[in-house]
């Protein structure tokens, strides 16, 4: 498939959806989706879920899950290429909700996932994207760190998470955005939250058999062989094609 520029892809997806669907929903009280609380601005609605965070209209006709690992380069690429297009074409108008669920592949994943979930759910999207879009920088530091330090981080316990967050500048990314050091440290030291992230990953694997990251489930079904924006775009275009 030809790789579309980001804004062109978003515009094309919006055209594929078409305004007719939104107009029909607004005029038909029996429609599956009737915008009520936040029409045209649903991307600002973010709620915590049992296994992640939901961005958009929770009553949207379409629901998609994005399974991500914060140490996955392809996930960072999708955040840069796909998430803005999804926000513009589908999340803002409330046509789809996107739930982001972390997949814990290693101890650094665990540390970053704790920080992404740290604080007000309304700030999750900004934290998530900050970590993803700066992945080259902090993950590069992790890969170039001495083996002795990497061995400490690999333990994944409280001290290891605190050490990694400090050495890689992960905690500072949140404090410079206004979160207190006390709140950040409390999130890093929360063993119950860390264990919950691991358990959630196991539950997602049991339910969806997630083969790798990023992966996507649309309307409760895992999309086979879809692990990039280029692969996801035609699926969504077909799902939201305007009638006629």
Domain ranges of the chain: 6-20+41-239
Instruction: Report whether 82 contacts 232 (CB < 8 A).
Output: yes
Burial of 12 (0-12, 13-18, 19+ CB in 10 A): middle
pLDDT at 241: 85
pLDDT at 193: 98
CA atoms of 31 and 24, how far apart (whole Å): 8
DSSP annotation of 106 reads S
pLDDT at 13: 55
- Predicted model pTM: 0.85
Instruction: Report whether 148 contacts 227 (CB < 8 A).
Output: no
Letter string b/e over residues 197-226, b meaning 16 or more CB atoms within 10 A of that residue's CB: beebbeebeeebebeebbbbbbeeebbeeb
Letter string b/e over residues 37-62, b meaning 16 or more CB atoms within 10 A of that residue's CB: eeeeebbebbeeeebbbbbbbeebbb
User: Cα angle vertex 27, ends 21, 29, to 5°?
Assistant: 105
CATH of 6-20+41-239, picked from 3.30.465.10, 3.30.420.40, 3.40.50.20, 3.40.30.10, is: 3.40.30.10
The closest alpha carbon to 198, from 64, 74, 124, 106, belongs to 106
CA atoms of 129 and 109, how far apart (whole Å): 14
Tens of each residue's pLDDT in the chain, 244 residues:
323 334 444 444 544 444 433 333 323 333 333 345 677 799 999 999 999 999 999 999 999 999 999 999 999 999 999 999 999 999 999 999 999 999 999 999 999 999 999 999 999 999 999 999 999 999 999 999 999 999 999 999 999 999 999 999 999 999 999 999 999 999 999 999 999 999 999 999 999 999 999 999 999 999 999 999 999 999 999 999 866 4
């Amino acid at each position: 498939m030809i790789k579309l520029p980001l804004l062109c892809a978003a515009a094309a997806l919006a055209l594929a959806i078409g305004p007719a669907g939104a107009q029909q929903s607004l005029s038909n009280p029996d429609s599956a989706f009737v915008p009520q609380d936040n029409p045209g601005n649903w991307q600002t609605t973010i709620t915590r879920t049992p296994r992640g965070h939901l961005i958009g209209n929770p009553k949207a006709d379409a629901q998609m899950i994005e399974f991500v690992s914060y140490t996955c380069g392809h996930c960072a690429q999708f955040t840069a290429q796909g998430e803005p297009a999804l926000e513009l074409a589908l999340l803002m108008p409330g046509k789809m909700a996107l739930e982001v669920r972390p997949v814990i592949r290693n101890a650094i994943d665990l540390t970053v996932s704790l920080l992404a979930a740290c604080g007000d759910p309304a700030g999750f999207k900004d934290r998530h994207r900050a970590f993803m879009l700066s992945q080259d920088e902090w993950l590069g530091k992790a890969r170039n760190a001495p083996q002795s330090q990497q061995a400490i981080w690999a333990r994944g316990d409280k001290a290891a998470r605190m050490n990694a967050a400090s050495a890689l500048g992960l905690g500072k990314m949140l404090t410079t955005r206004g979160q207190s050091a006390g709140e950040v440290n409390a999130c890093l030291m929360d063993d119950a939250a860390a264990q919950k992230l691991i358990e959630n990953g196991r539950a997602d694997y049991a339910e969806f058999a997630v083969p790798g990251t990023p992966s996507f489930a649309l309307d409760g079904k895992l999309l086979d062989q879809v692990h990039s924006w280029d692969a996801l775009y035609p699926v969504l275009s077909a799902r939201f094609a305007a009638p006629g």
